[in-house]
């Protein structure tokens, strides 16, 4: 693990906590690297659990599904129900260069799948029915145009 990648991961965690969000993928900040960070601990007073994952890969998914209302820092102010496998086994390389495998459940499972999708250029709106996806895409295009004008 290079020092550059580690400091990139630290920057991404800071950006994510600032947003605030529970996950961030490098492509979202314009870095084409297979790197994601996440922390789904949301309860006040609970110990944070920042995860840095290089080359994360889903190695197994449960047949059981789960639906969560998802949002995304790349698509501000839009949320939609997305159904995904309820549990996933993920293999990745951590910030110390060690290979790790863990089973994620509940919100963690949804989050890690959402973030890995970013590495493959996929957004949660890709899971929605065409009508709803078009509506969000149109609003986002409009928003981007307005921001560009400012």
Residues belonging to the active site = 115
Strand order of the β-sheet with 51-61 is 23-25, 35-38, 51-61, 88-93, 99-104
Q: Is residue 72 at the binding interface for Zn ion, with CB under 5 A as the rule?
A: yes
Token readout for 94 is 């951590």
Residue 111 annotated as lining a ligand binding site: no
Given the complex with Zn ion, which of 92 and 118 has the nearer CB atom?
Answer: 118
Cβ at position 117, least distance to Zn ion in Å: 8
Residues in contact with Zn ion, total (CB under 5 A)? Answer: 1
How far apart CA 63 and CA 124 sit, in angstroms, is 20
* Cβ nearer to Zn ion, comparing 93 with 112: 112
The 10 Å Cβ neighbour count of residue 109 is 24
Q: Rounded to the nearest 5°, which phi and psi values hold at 126?
A: -65, -20
On whether 78 is known to bind a ligand per the annotation, the reply is: no
- Going residue by residue from 38 to 57, which x/- string records binding to Zn ion, judged by CB under 5 A? --------------------
Alpha carbon 107 to its chain centroid, in Å, reads: 11
Nearer to Zn ion, 13 or 72 (CB): 72
Which residues are annotated as part of the binding site for Fe cation?
A: 72, 114, 118
Q: Which residues bind Zn ion (CB under 5 A)?
A: 72
């Amino acid at each position: 693990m290079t020092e550059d990648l580690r400091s990139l991961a630290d920057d991404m965690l800071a950006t994510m906590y600032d947003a605030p969000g529970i996950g961030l993928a490098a492509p979202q900040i314009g870095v084409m690297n297979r790197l994601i960070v996440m922390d789904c601990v949301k309860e006040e007073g609970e110990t944070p659990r920042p995860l840095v994952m290089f080359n994360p890969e889903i190695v197994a998914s449960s047949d059981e599904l789960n639906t969560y209302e998802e949002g995304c820092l790349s698509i501000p102010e839009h949320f939609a129900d997305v159904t995904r496998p309820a549990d996933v086994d993920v293999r990745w390389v951590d910030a110390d260069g060690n290979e790790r495998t863990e089973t994620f459940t509940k919100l963690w499972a949804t989050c890690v799948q959402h973030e890995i999708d970013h590495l493959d250029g996929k957004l949660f709106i890709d899971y929605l029915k065409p009508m709803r996806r078009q509506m969000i895409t149109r609003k986002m295009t409009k928003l981007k145009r307005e921001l560009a004008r400012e």
